[in-house]
Amino acid sequence: MGRVFVAGSINMDVVATADRHPKVGETVAGNAVNYFPGGKGANQAVASAKLGAPTTLIGRLGRDAFGQQLRTFLAAQAVDLAHVKDTAEAHTGMAIITVADADNTIVVVPGANALVSSEDVTAVALAKGDVAVSQFEIPQATIVAFFRRARAAGATTILNPAPAIPFGKDLLDLVDILILNETELGLLTHMELRDSDDPARFVAAASALQGGSRIICITLGKRGVLALIDGQASVIAGRAVKAVDTTGAGDCFVGALASQLANGTAIRRALEYANAAASICVQRMGAAPSMPTAAEVAALLST
């Protein structure tokens, strides 16, 4: 069995709930405020670990109360923290999240995440069969160094380019599996896309990001997942559930897919598994705490 290595952000999510999102310049009354462990790197690592894959997180925390709380939480989820450093130069990363009617808005303040370095990610001992995962809440130069290290070791690389910002061919060429939603796909390909668009439109947009044997997965919420594998489009239908908080759904999908690939599962079956895991995640509040267990996903798939 391979291992999963996630290089990414670790945040404390400050989540305010309200009946609706405020318009620009408007103030609305909230219902509650909660503090949840989050950050795309931490979320993906927790999802992978809870689904049974040996998982190492590479990142940084501030030497503050949030940092201590996050380290305790992540250790309790069986995430290997040997490559998570404490730094005095910056505070622990934070995300300010508003949840209304099951949709969210997010403002991320990187803090210590911006200091994750090439030296941090090249110190890990990757091997053939491992899976290396990253996202855009740490510096891109760090991700390039991480994926070069992974490629040299024969590991599979997964990039979740979120939040969406432009990136160069030097990084894209190192990506085996690209996982993104319709908003990120639209921004990266300069196309106006909506989750209700015809699948052919997504395929046309994603073709600009293909190359070699790269797999592209487009997560479409309740519509499921559209994947381009060997140039052929595969649709994994969504599952009808009552969503409570979609904050960690994409990260759950990424972590679940990584866990299955590390376990040797074929890509299409791994996509179905990840889709099921994400459907459980959205029925709970919070990001990292909402990640399902392997038993929960197995029970859902058995029905």
The annotation places the binding site for ATP at 181, 219-224, 250-251, 275
Active site residue 86: no
b/e per residue, 256-268, with b = 16+ CB within 10 A?
A: bbbbbbbbebebe
Residues whose CB is less than 8 angstroms from the CB of residue 217 and which lie 6 or more positions away in sequence, other chains included: 177, 178, 179, 180, 225, 226, 227, 228, 253, 257, 271
Q: Mark the binding-site residues for substrate, compressed into ranges.
A: 11-13, 39-43, 137, 251
Give the DSSP H/E element, type plus range, for residue 8: none
Cβ proximity of 74 and 81 under 8 Å: yes
Which phi-psi region, left, alpha or beta, contains residue 210 (left: φ > 0; alpha: ψ -120 to 50)? beta
**Per annotation, catalytic residue among 120, 130, 176, 251:** 251
DSSP 197: S
CA angle 223, 206, 280 (to 5 degrees): 30
Unique residue bearing structure tokens 């319709």: 182
Smallest Cα–Cα separation from 237: which of 268, 201, 207, 214?
268
Positions marked active-site:
251
